[in-house]
Amino acid sequence: MVWRIELLLAGISGLLAVMLGAFGAHALKAQLAPNLYAAYQTGVEYQFYHTLALLMVGLLRQQSESTHLQWAGRAFVAGILLFSGSLYLLALTGVKALGMVTPLGGVLFMIGWVMVILAGCKNKRGTE
């Protein structure tokens, strides 16, 4: 039943990624310096990628009780918040110290993908 939360969060994140992407393209592009706009767009791009990964994890968890998939979902959500969130704030505020948070989000993305790999290494029934 927890997989429903992952699907809900994937839906919310996907919606926000579309909205933030449109906001960036239509309202921010002319307002931001090119490097800050590029950072904002990177946040949108990685949010999309990992929203799809979260959706995949939620769908896979319908059929598997894998704790690796559970941790993958958590890592993807936290990674979206830290990686993309810090890039959005950096672009909008210009506070460069926020850039120190971005790599933590990237590490969480990598942890999520490692958890997916580990889930794939388990037996057919998804037991651990």
HEC per residue, the chain? CCHHHHHHHHHHHHHHHHHHHHHHHHHHCCCCCHHHHHHHHHHHHHHHHHHHHHHHHHHHHCCCCCHHHHHHHHHHHHHHHHHHHHHHHHHHHCCHHHHHCHHHHHHHHHHHHHHHHHHHHCCCCCCC
What pLDDT score was predicted for residue 25? 95
Are 68 and 128 in contact by the 8 Å Cβ rule? The answer is yes
What pLDDT score was predicted for residue 1? 63
What pLDDT score was predicted for residue 40? 97
Tens of pLDDT along the chain (128 residues) come to 678 899 999 999 999 999 999 999 999 999 999 999 999 999 999 999 999 999 999 999 999 889 999 999 999 999 999 999 999 999 999 999 988 999 999 999 999 999 999 999 975 554 55
Task: For the chain, give the number of residues.
Answer: 128
What pLDDT score was predicted for residue 65? 84
What pLDDT score was predicted for residue 123? 55
Q: Where are the domains of the chain?
A: 3-121
Q: Is the pTM of this model over 0.85?
A: yes
What pLDDT score was predicted for residue 22? 97
